[in-house]
Amino acid sequence: MRFKWSILAIVFTVITVLSGCDRLLVLDPKGPQAKTQADDIIMTIWIMAFIVLVVFALLVYMLVKYRASKQSKDYEPPHIEGSKLVEAICIGVPIIIVTFLSIMSVKSNYEVEATPKGYENQKPLVVYASSSDWKWHFSYPEENIETVNYLYIPADRPIEFKLYSYGPITSFWIPQLGGQKYAMSDMVTTLHLAADEPGEFMGRNANFSGKGFAENTFDVKAMSQAEYDEWVQEVKETAKPLSEKKFDQLLEPGHLGRSTYNGTHLKFSPPPSAENGGHEHNSTKADKEDMNHADHENMEHEDMNMDDMNE
């Protein structure tokens, strides 16, 4: 009786807990990049579920077939050297599974790093997404506007994000549109996304970056191209200009609400010049000019030495 009530309590707890769960955003894709990743997740879940079911079925079979109660008290198991078939299965099946998952992962990685499927012939909207403690700044160089902690994008158009940080390493993530990618202070990383339909989505920093990390989020809204153009025009007519002094205030640690500005910070505070693999290590413009000048002088000295040798 006690066992029966324990089982009922467990079932009731599972049902009540699951009924309060919201849908998994990563399994509710609204763009081609997110759909590719969601399909991979579902595939790996099915593969793991199949493996678990097979292992448990074999476990039950072994426990029933070879249980001690079936044998006589003086039973001694025969000496077995081994089975080549069993060893081949134990080694071969994991190799096949890992090979399949590796090929699937590499193929998917190339897909999500490229322009989203179906949008290859469209010009992408370039958005510079930079993070600070603990805010997100979105610069639209094509429209010459900037927003803080919210992002408006046109649906059915590829978006090319240029990611970097004014503080610690952060991770830009919109679960329903695609996977996360790091934003760093000394280089720019590129992320390609697209929304197949209008809607509102959640975006956040997925990498711990200090005590304000939990609230380092932003709102995303995908809309038709006409609505997007109207919003851009409204911002240009009503928003205040973004000055260097105001931007320095925005970079100070803390949490802010949503704000909108005319102009971007890209002119007076440009992003790092290194991109996708190169690193500047926070070198200043003067440092770069000195390095270029030194390289030029070295080349001149080498040319002079070569001329002396020729003479």
Residue 253: the pLDDT is 92
Residue 25: the pLDDT is 86
Helices 84-113 and 32-65 meet at what angle, rounded to 10? 170
**pLDDT values of the chain reduced to their tens digit, one per residue, 311 residues:** 565 666 666 656 655 544 444 568 888 999 999 999 999 999 999 999 999 999 999 999 988 887 777 777 787 777 877 788 888 988 999 999 999 999 999 999 999 999 999 999 999 999 999 999 999 999 999 999 999 999 999 999 999 999 999 999 999 999 999 999 999 998 999 999 999 999 999 999 999 888 888 889 999 999 999 999 999 999 999 999 999 999 999 999 998 899 999 999 999 999 998 776 565 554 444 444 443 444 444 444 444 444 443 44
Residue 296: the pLDDT is 44
Q: How far is CA 72 from the centre of its chain?
A: 60
Q: Where are the domains of the chain?
A: 20-68+83-113, 125-262
Residue 7: the pLDDT is 62
**Superfamily of 125-262 according to CATH:** Cupredoxins -  blue copper proteins (2.60.40.420)
- Look up the CATH number of domain 20-68+83-113: 1.10.287
Distance CA 199, CA 220 (A): 8
Distance CA 117, CA 27 (A): 19
Residue 12: the pLDDT is 63
Instruction: Check residue 195 and give left, alpha or beta (phi > 0: left; psi -120 to 50: alpha).
Output: beta
Burial class of residue 39, CB neighbours in 10 A (0-12, 13-18, 19+): middle
CB-based contacts of 35: which residues, under 8 Å, 6+ apart? 29
Residue 6: the pLDDT is 60
Residue 92: the pLDDT is 94
